[in-house]
Amino acid sequence: MSALRLKIIGYSTLCSKRLLTNSISNSKYISSLSSCNTNLKQRTGLYIPNYYPARYSSAAVENQAETPKTTSSRSKETLKGSSEKREFQAETRMLLDIVARSLYSDKEVFIRELISNASDALEKFRYLNVSSAPDALKLLETDRPLEIRLSTDKQNRTLTFQDSGIGMTKDELNQNLGTIARSGSKSFIEEIKKQGKDQASSIIGQFGVGFYSAFMVADKIEVYTKSSVEGSQGYKWSSDGSGVYEVQEADGVAIGTKIIVHLKTECREYADDEIVKNIIKKYSNFVSSPIFLNDEQVNQIKPLWLMEPKEVTHEQHVEFYRFISQSYDKPRYTLHYKTDVPLSIRAILYVPEGKPGLFELSRDSDVGVALYSRKILIKSKAENILPKWLRFVKGVVDSEDIPLNLSRELLQNSALIVKLKTVLTNRFLKFMIDMSNKNPSDYEAFYKEYSIFLKEGIVTSQSSIEKEEIAKLLRFESSKLPNGQRTSLSEYATRQKEDQRTIYYLAAPSRELAESSPYYESLKKRDVEVLFCYEMYDELVLLELKEFNNRKLVSIENDMQTTAAEEPDNIIAGKIFDVKTTSKLETHPCVITVQEMAAARHFIRTQAQNLSEENRFALLRPHLEINVKHPIIKKLHKLMSSDPELAKMISEQLFSNAMVTAGLILDPRNLIVHINELLVKALEKH
């Protein structure tokens, strides 16, 4: 890299598995479920974990026809017998302290966590219910509606969660809510012990403890539950999170689980139905089971990304796009993408129809893609899964493979996330390349509005492979095509002569100026195609790209430059560092060449005003190439002896004209004074 480029580029650079709520303690139960799962997997091809507590994928459970009926959210449970008081495990107490005090940055996520647990319970019941294994468990009320119901009570300051899922036995209550029986949570605590509580934030990994997040807002939690297995007894579990909990038998308990969160005074806003509704819509709008709040269903929109692409209509895509983007236009392009290799990905990505606003153009603007895991929102604006230059893309990505932190609020910086980003980016680029080839006129309309993002991608990407893929989407006018018609670099390459391994380009404000440029003369005469760059950053993009399809990208201004003298003379007041003759010019008397002309022009536009004229020219080191056959140059040679003062003025003006033509003088108005002086001097002779 040249010294000039190094100097100039230095100045200017373009600018959440969770703690599961159910476990099975006797081996027959586990064996039965394993058999059920294996049978179902063989019949459906679905992935079903063999160990019951593992979280099921809800990707294949869609749109069950269920009549929305009220379950037992208003049931009055009655306690019987005496309660059994137990202490939490020491590790559980530590876990409660960490989760409730330091893990979640936004307390509202406890609603998301409890709904997610309820969804798990429903999914587990669904799988058991459809199993036809000989030793399948006998389940109660198998025709009950599978739903999640929430109810608010401002007066009593409570928020209640009710699901009609698998429910829990007494042993499962003690395992799931009183001890840390999950290896993931154990590992978490062991790591805490090693590094200390103060390091919790940095070592929180893939451990699910969502239920305990409710203690952030609760001074007491009551859980009523009854297992779906025939012959099960109902129970009540309660705790204030201080170190002990109570378990007691209860009658009148509906099958499933009901959690009553008694809110702290300072958290009473979570008993407001409008606030809770907005939180449900924010995080859990795409849970497959219906969610009711005070008997009104909240989640109405289907998670389209889990459906087969051919089953989704254009109208559904428009509605879904408007919902996730909070806009009123339509998607210009729609990529509905599903794959299981190398990662499990279900995604829908949209390119907006509307023109990007000024805020979207800024690199500080938010990204438009939300990240889900099994239809539960992880992060609404997931910066890590697409590169920054694709911030104009709207959509949803759902992956079961992503590593999440305990609260799902921050993605781990892992190889899997990098892989997810790479897979999505490559797939989107392939999609856009296909679209550009299938319908060039539609792509031209897109390019006019969004080309700045593509160019940013080339400048900022660290991958040469990615740069070249983005480059396939670039479009430029060409000397071989009519005014206004653009071509791709790939198309340019197909028109090249067999011996030409260079792609030439020329930067100019307009086609007229490009075609009249002295730099274009030589290649025009040789019938070599030249791409015209009119936009401000086109030159820097091609300079950064360097080559395409094993062809070098060369500015014709640089192509004109020949070997410079070792110690060039300072000819015009320290501005020119070399003068030499050229045979490439015909109609122009002279031309300026500098190393890396694109970088030089960008430097002039952004940084030159901060430097003195002397330092400016010291960095640029312009070379003047003259056409000795031009009449002006011929007469100037004679004038050097007869009128050296006028010859000097003409030489300076020729230099200024060449600098303007090269785009190295932004405001030529500053030359007017010198032009007038030259005219006066010339008129003195007549």
Binding residues: 113, 117, 163, 168, 176, 183-184, 206-211, 257, 408
The residue type of 520 is Y
Q: Which residues of 613-631 are buried (b: 16+ CB within 10 A; e: fewer)?
A: eeebbebbbbbbbbbeebe
Burial 574-600 (b: 16+ CB within 10 A, else e): ebbbbbeebebbeebbbbbbbbbbbbb
Q: How far apart are CA 258 and CA 149, in angstroms?
A: 9
Instruction: Encode burial over 52-77: b for 16+ CB neighbours within 10 A, e otherwise.
Output: bbebbbbbebeeeeeeeeebbbeeeb
DSSP string, 136-174: PPPBS-TTS---EEEEEETTTTEEEEEE-S----HHHHI
Q: Helix H segments across 196-270?
A: 200-203
Task: Report residue 263 as tokens.
Answer: 């809110």
Category of 252 on φ-ψ map: left (φ > 0), alpha (ψ -120 to 50) or beta: left
Classify strands 530-533 and 502-507 as parallel, antiparallel or unpaired.
parallel
Residue ranges at the known binding site for ATP: 113, 117, 163, 168, 176, 183-184, 206-211, 257, 408
Query: What CA–CA distance (Å, rounded) separates 23 from 236?
Result: 17
Backbone phi and psi for residue 11, each to the nearest 5 degrees, phi listed first: -75, -35
Question: 78: which residues sit within 8 A by CB, 6+ positions away?
Answer: 250, 251, 252
State the burial class of residue 315 (Cβ atoms within 10 Å of its Cβ: 0-12, 13-18, 19+): exposed
Show Cβ contacts of residue 376 under 8 Å, excluding neighbours closer than 6 positions.
Answer: 16, 112, 115, 116, 119, 283, 284, 286, 287, 408
Q: What share of the chain is helix, strand, coil (3-state, %, to 5)?
A: 45, 20, 40
Which burial class, exposed, middle or buried, applies to 244 when counting CB atoms under 10 A from its CB (0-12, 13-18, 19+)? middle
**Greatest Cα pair distance in the chain:** 124
| Structure-token match 């409660």, residue found | 96
- Contacts of residue 500, Cβ cutoff 8 Å, sequence gap at least 6: 528
d(Cα 263, Cα 242) in Å, to the nearest integer?
Answer: 15
Instruction: Residue 456: count other Cβ atoms within 10 Å of its Cβ.
Output: 22
Cβ atoms 561, 595 nearer than 8 A: yes
Instruction: Give the whole-angstrom CA distance, residue 425 versus residue 382.
Output: 14
